[in-house]
Amino acid sequence: MVGLTVTVVLLAIGVTVLPGVRELLIAAARALLGVDLPDDPAGSPVPLTTRIRAAGWLLVCTALGAVSAAALLVALPVTVALVATPWEQYPPLPTGLAAWWTAPLALLPVPAVLTALAAAGALQARLAPALLGPDPGQRRAAELAEQLARAHRRADRQAERTRLARELHDSVGHALTVSTMQAAAAAELLSTDPSFVARALDAIATTGRAALDDLDHVLGLLRDDGDTPQPVRDLDSLEPLLASARAAGLDLHHDVDPAAGVPAVVSREAYRLVQEGLTNALRHADPGPVELRLRRSGSGLHLTITNTITAGGDGARERRVGRGLAGARERVALLGGTVRAAPDGDRWVLHARFPSTPTGPSGPGSTRGTTAEESSPTTHGREPT
């Protein structure tokens, strides 16, 4: 008997080591027992201990099957014998009317066997995850990987919300600033310069339409609407931005090197920073010229915006413009550049350096970062004169 048991155990282990046998047992358990067994981690070899556990499952099924078959083989003849007892001689059982109690007793074996079979199935369902499931170490690794993936997804969603908020700040904030300045100037000259008022109203309308384009694109991203057209804003579209700033009353002087050859991500971020600087100048600068300079060199792209400030107003002004510039510093830093904004005598100076070869999430070698930048709506810049 011991030898037979050892033989059966070794045979079960040998069978489950064969490729595909454990997978077949898992499929059968899922189909017959309704057990939700997790798959093994992709690309991981199945440890020997896992196959030995599968052999244990095979032994459990074999033992329960043997017991169930034996129970059926016993229950059926016993049932027949109890039913036939009144008419047949089965010593020491009585016959005739004295055997009346054997008929109700005949109803017990079959339900008892069926109940035992159901219990065996429930036992198998409980044992299946432990014996057919992945290795505990692999399960823990898979759970940790899933937790890490969830954390990455949460971080991606937060980054996306931050990016959308930044886009709205850049595009809609600039449009509102320009429109407010145009409307204020038009109100002052309403009776004395109708032609200026007409130009201002036209600029406000065009500025609003361009801002709506950007807003529609952002809302399309929130709806996962891939058909929403993406506005493109980079240094090649700088002239309309400068014209709109002048139309809003800014005494703007610019000296800009050609943008040909500037990396696309640098061109877009430089445009955003120019827009942020001009928007802040429209809001906070004192009367006087605003100078914009873009210079290319071997080390990269250098952007400088200066405007006049009054003595004593530096701290308040820095606090007021710091929120938008904080996002600009983060974006430029991701490319490997720097942004500095500070007073210099009676001038407020915004200076940024962009590397000739951007690094970080938006630079070469990072598909994820580049994709995010490509998919994001850049800032508003279609304003007319």
pLDDT band at 91 (very low <50, low <70, confident <90, very high): low
- Contact predicate 272/378, CB 8 Å: yes
* Tens-digit pLDDT profile for residues 277-294: 888 888 877 888 999 999
Which is more confidently placed, 160 or 200? 200
pLDDT band at 254 (very low <50, low <70, confident <90, very high): very high
Q: DSSP secondary-structure letter at 287?
A: S
Kindly report the CATH class assigned to 156-375.
alpha beta
pTM of the model: 0.49
| pLDDT at position 14 | 67
**% the chain with pLDDT above 70:** 72
Asked whether the predicted pLDDT for residue 314 surpasses 70, the reply is no
| pLDDT at position 321 | 46
Asked whether the predicted pLDDT for residue 29 surpasses 50, the reply is yes
pLDDT band at 377 (very low <50, low <70, confident <90, very high): very low
Asked whether the predicted pLDDT for residue 115 surpasses 80, the reply is yes
Q: Which of 42, 45, 43 is nearest to 19 (CA)?
A: 45
Over range 3-7, report the average pLDDT.
Answer: 60
Over range 315-339, report the average pLDDT.
Answer: 71
Q: Which of 213, 224, 211 is nearest to 160 (CA)?
A: 224
**% the chain with pLDDT above 90:** 7
280: which 2 tokens? 């802040």
- Contact predicate 178/244, CB 8 Å: yes
Burial-class residue 85 by CB neighbours within 10 Å (0-12, 13-18, 19+): buried
* Tens-digit pLDDT profile for residues 143-188: 788 888 888 888 877 777 777 777 777 677 777 777 887 788 788 8
Angle between helices 2-17 and 21-33 (to 10 degrees): 100
DSSP 323-375: HHHHHHHHHHHHTT-EEEEEEETTEEEEEEEEESS--GGGSTT-HHHHHHHHH
Ranges of each domain in the chain: 2-134, 156-375
Highest-scoring range by mean pLDDT, 111-115, 137-141, 381-385: 111-115
* Tens-digit pLDDT profile for residues 336-356: 899 998 888 888 999 999 998
Asked whether the predicted pLDDT for residue 194 surpasses 90, the reply is no
Length of the chain: 385
- Residue labelled with tokens 């244990």: 56
d(CA 282, CA 284): 6
Q: b/e for 50-69, b at 16 or more Cβ within 10 A?
A: bbebbbbbbbbbeebeeeee
